[in-house]
A = this chain, B = another copy of it.
Amino acid sequence: MSSGSGIAIALDAMGSDLGPPATLAGACEVSQHPESPRLFVVGDADVLRRELEKHPHDRDKIRIVHASEVIAQDEKPKEAITSKPGASILVAAELVKAGEAQVLVSAGNTGAVTMCCARTFTRLQGVTRSALGAVYPTERRRGEKDDPFSLILDAGLTLEASAEDLVGFAVMGAAYSKCISKNSRPRVGLLSVGGEESKGTESVVKAHAVLKRLGARSDGGFEFIGNIEGMDIPRGTADVVVTSGFTGNIVLKMLEGISETVMRLARSASEKSLQYKAGLLLLAPAIQRLRQVTDWQEYGGVPILGFDRLCIKAHGRSTARAIRNAIRVAHRAARTDTVGSIQKGLEAARSAE
C-alpha cells in the first residue's frame, strides 16, 4: 500500500481556468516522483500532447485519454452535462467508475463536477446527501504534519441540511480527516448559536443527540466536541466543522473576504505613511508565512463526499502547483482507502441509530 504503483488518478485536464498548460505542468512534475501514482490525463489529445512535450515527465506514468468536448466554468451544469457527453470531466469520471483509476481530480465548473459525480458514481449506503468538504486555515495546529487546517462541510452542495444529513457530513468528514491529516481521532464540532445541546435549529438539536451517542462509541471514529460557535471557526477548535451548505458557503467566502480586506488595509496604510511601510517591511517574513499558511494552492483540492468513488475538486484558478497538490491529496486518499473508511463510519452510524 505504501507504494503508489498500483494507484491511478483520472485528471480532467481541461477544467482549470489556466487550461491544459497549468494542468499538464502539474501532472508532469508529479510524475517524476518515484512513488507517484499513474495519471490518466483527459482532454483534447492534440493539445495535451503538445503540452506534455514542454515538460520533463515520466512517460510510463502519464497516459493521455482523448475527450472531444469541454464544459466551461460559466456553463449551466445540467444543460452542459446533457449536451456534451464527450466532455473531459465525464470521460475522466467514466475511467474512475470502470476502476481504471481510483480518484477523479478536476479544477472544472463545480456544479458540473458534482453533477457528474452524482450521475456517474453510486451513492454510498446511508448517505442522504453528498457534501463538498473544504479546508481552511486556523490558529491551531494538529495532526501528523502539524497542519493548521480544519475541514468544514458542507461547503455548498446541500443548502438546507436535515439532522440525518448533518450526521452524514460528520461521519464522512471525520473519515476523510482521519485519512488525509492522519489524525486518528478527529474532533468533530457541530456549528450552532450556543454551546448547550438545546441551542440551534431543530435539525442541529437532533443531530447533536445522535452525534453525542456516536462520538461515545469506540467504532464511531471521532470525538464529538459538541456544538461550536462562530468564534471557534478561526480558532480551530474542531478538526471537522459540520454545518449546512448555506452557512458553510457563507463562512468560507467570508474567510476569503476578510483576508482580502486585511491585505487591502495593509496596502493602503503602507501607501499613506513611511512609518507604516517600514513597520510592514519588518513584519514581511511573518506576513509571508501567514500567506503560505492561508494559501489555498497549498491544499490543492477539496473532496466531494458521499459516493463509492472519490473526487477531489481543485480550485477553478488552479496553477500547476495547485494541481500538483490536488493530485497528492487524491493519491493519499486512494492509498488510505478513504472511501472504505467512510463506509465503515456510515455503518457505525447506522448501528447507533
Contacts and interface: CB of A to CB of B under 8 A. Distances in A.
Interface of A: 139, 156, 159-160, 191-193, 200-202, 229-235, 245-247, 249-258, 260-262, 264-265, 269, 273, 275-276, 278-283, 285-286, 290
Contacts of A258: 234, 258
Contacts of A285: 275
A130 to B, nearest CB: 16
A260 B282 contact: no
B276 A283 contact: yes
Contacts of A275: 282, 285
Given A235-B257, A276-B282, 17 more contacts: A139-B264, A156-B193, A159-B193, A159-B201, A193-B249, A229-B249, A230-B253, A230-B257, A232-B257, A233-B250, A234-B254, A234-B257, A251-B254, A276-B286, A279-B279, A279-B280, A279-B282
A289 to B, nearest CB: 9
A281 B258 CA distance: 23
**Interface majority SS (helix, strand, loop, mixed), chain A:** helix
Contact of A246 (B193, B233, B252, B282): B193
6 nearest A-B pairs in the assembled complex, by CB-CB distance: A230-B253, A231-B257, A279-B282, A230-B254, A279-B283, A230-B250
Give the interface centre of A265, A275, A282 by most chain B CB atoms within 10 Å. A282
A246 B192 CA distance: 7
B279 A281 contact: yes
Contacts of A261: 139, 234-235
Nearest to A243: B250
Contacts of A252: 230
Nearest to A155: B193
A272 to B, nearest CB: 9
Contacts of A251: 230, 250-251, 254
Contacts of A280: 279, 283
9 contacts: A139-B264, A192-B246, A230-B250, A230-B256, A231-B256, A233-B257, A273-B286, A279-B280, A279-B282
Contacts of A159: 193, 200-201
A84 to B, nearest CB: 22
Contacts of A160: 201-202
A296 to B, nearest CB: 14
A237 to B, nearest CB: 10
Contacts of A156: 193
Contacts of A202: 160
Contact of A200 (B191, B193, B246, B265): B246
Nearest to A254: B230
Contact of A265 (B139, B191, B254, B278): B139
A23 to B, nearest CB: 26
A249 B231 CA distance: 10
Contact of A231 (B235, B246, B253, B286): B253
